[in-house]
Structure 1
Amino acid sequence: MKFTDWGIIDYKEAWDKQNEIFTQLIRAKSTADYLSKIDQLQQIIFCEHPHVYTLGRNGNVSNMLIQEDRLKSLNATYYKTDRGGDITYHGFGQIVVYPIVDLDALHISLRQYVCNLEEAVIRTLMHYNLKTERAEGATGVWFDYNTPSARKICAIGVRASHYVTMHGLAFNISTDLSYYNYINPCGFIDKGVTSLEKELGKSVNMEEVKVILRSELDKLLQF
């Protein structure tokens, strides 16, 4: 599968580029030579965004705890999106992954696809001797979910149409976690957020994490 790294990119620009690839893949599904082109049509995109808050299509705007006019002082922007999930934050030091893939070709359901995204992050964290888990009814990757110290390290929100996916996951590596103070992350008021560097208590090479995560995604999103 084709991997691309867009580097640091504005959220809206990335959303527009995703939509273009997403639409092309949906249109291509009806063509006779689709399967011969699928390797180039499907993509897994890595990127990093400047400070931005995004609200999912079924999210509750009340989970944004500040007025939009305060965003400028935080050097942040805000968008209502067409992905699933509630409100989240993207920023520097976070690996954002946008797989634009055909679930029909992968022979998996949307639910299994989301589980595979979670599993890729769980396996990546195992490389750092960190044990995480998924939680029933709370998409993403968590530490100690059923305890008072529950904290999320990776949020997931996707969109699918004609079994083609877009949007994806946000994995905190060296993220400035103070930006989460201005929202109820993913709609939760009683659970925290964390990052790989916070859990390890030391700095981490982001490119190294990308290589591991890419390898795990490649294993889990095979034809």
Structure 2
Amino acid sequence: MAELAPLLIRHLGRRDFVSVWREMEAFTDARDDNTGDEVWLVQHDPVFTLGQAGKPEHVLDARDIPLVQTNRGGQVTYHGPGQIVAYPLIDLRRVGIGVREFVCRIEQAIIDTLAHWNIEALRRENAPGVYVAGAKVGALGLRVRRGCTFHGLALNVAMDLQPFRRINPCGYQGLQVTQVSDLGGPSRIEDVEAVLLVELAQQLGLELRETNPHLSLTAAGTANGANVSLPA
């Protein structure tokens, strides 16, 4: 069996959104055919971000939280501590999938992650993201440049959801938002990250390569009974 190409993991800790965005763009602009694919994991300082299609009127009351206009797809969302933000920096041509299929695979990785804790999640037609009983738990916002992706996904784990009430999440008035810890899953970011990384790698046909001892993916399992193993 052919050896899988690597997916390098970068743990950025807690960072402001704009600096990470600029670094993603620099990485994407500088990469060539020999540049490996990576996934960056981060928790952002509180921030509202507005996608290219975003309408300012969907920001109801930003107040003390910064609002950043970005070049990703989608509408308005909120990032803050207690939320996993994952940025898959992937050469779609090399993995052999198109943009629409990439979106579906990212959504499926979130759905399969939540299934580890018996949380039934679904995608919704014409409304990218992942939902549980009609409430949004995972959001997507992507950009593709020269066949390579940046920006990515946000999965609510154990955070203050109050700021979502100050926007129309993803442009939908009254859209409810939920999180893993309120659905019977773990509250530790590391537990959910470990599962999500494995599911992302499986969806993309890549092999995880850990570059930071902050999170070990060699363990056979995580908290709350989720069984995790690296691809062979």
Partner of 1:85: 74
Partner of 2:105: 116
The answer to whether the Cα contact below 8 Å between 2:49 and 2:70 also exists between their aligned partners in 1 is yes
> 2:38 aligned to 33, 36, 43, which one?
43
TM-score, normalised on structure 2?
A: 0.83
Q: Distance in 1 between matches of 2:82 and 2:50?
A: 20
> 1:207 aligned to 170, 177, 190, which one?
190
Q: Distance in 2 between matches of 1:50 and 1:172?
A: 14
Partner of 2:164: 180
Q: Distance in 1 between matches of 2:76 and 2:188?
A: 27
Equivalences for 1:87-166 in 2 at 5 Å? 87-144=76-133, 150-166=134-150
Secondary structure of residue in 2 paired with 1:38: coil
CA RMSD across the alignment: 1.2
Report the alpha carbon displacement of residue 64 of structure 1 after superposing the two structures with TM: 0.2
Q: Distance in 1 between matches of 2:204 and 2:110?
A: 13
Q: Which amino acid aligns with 2:112?
A: R
Report the alpha carbon displacement of residue 203 of structure 1 after superposing the two structures with TM: 5.2
Partner of 1:147: none
Secondary structure of residue in 2 paired with 1:192: coil
Secondary structure of residue in 1 paired with 2:104: helix
Partner of 1:220: 203
Q: Which amino acid aligns with 1:21?
A: F
Secondary structure of residue in 2 paired with 1:152: strand
List structure 1 segments (4+ residues) > 2 angstroms apart after TM superposition: none
Partner of 1:192: 176
Report the alpha carbon displacement of residue 198 of structure 1 after superposing the two structures with TM: 1.3
Deviation per residue, 1:64-92 (Å, 9 max, x gap)? 002x5x22xxxx21100000000000000
Partner of 2:214: none
Q: Could you list the runs of 5+ residues in structure 1 that have no partner in the other structure?
A: 29-33, 145-149
Q: Distance in 1 between matches of 2:175 and 2:168?
A: 9
The answer to whether the Cα contact below 8 Å between 2:129 and 2:136 also exists between their aligned partners in 1 is yes
Report the alpha carbon displacement of residue 190 of structure 1 after superposing the two structures with TM: 3.4
Partner of 2:223: none
Q: Distance in 2 between matches of 1:106 and 1:65?
A: 40
Secondary structure of residue in 1 paired with 2:155: strand
Which has more helix, going by share of residues?
1
Deviation per residue, 1:166-203 (Å, 9 max, x gap)? 00000000011101010000001132000001111x75
Secondary structure of residue in 2 paired with 1:114: helix
Q: Distance in 2 between matches of 1:161 and 1:217?
A: 20
Secondary structure of residue in 2 paired with 1:218: helix
Residue-pair matches, total: 200
Question: Is the aligned partner of 1:21 residue 2:27?
Answer: yes
TM-score, normalised on structure 1?
A: 0.87
Partner of 2:52: 57
Identity, in percent, stands at 34
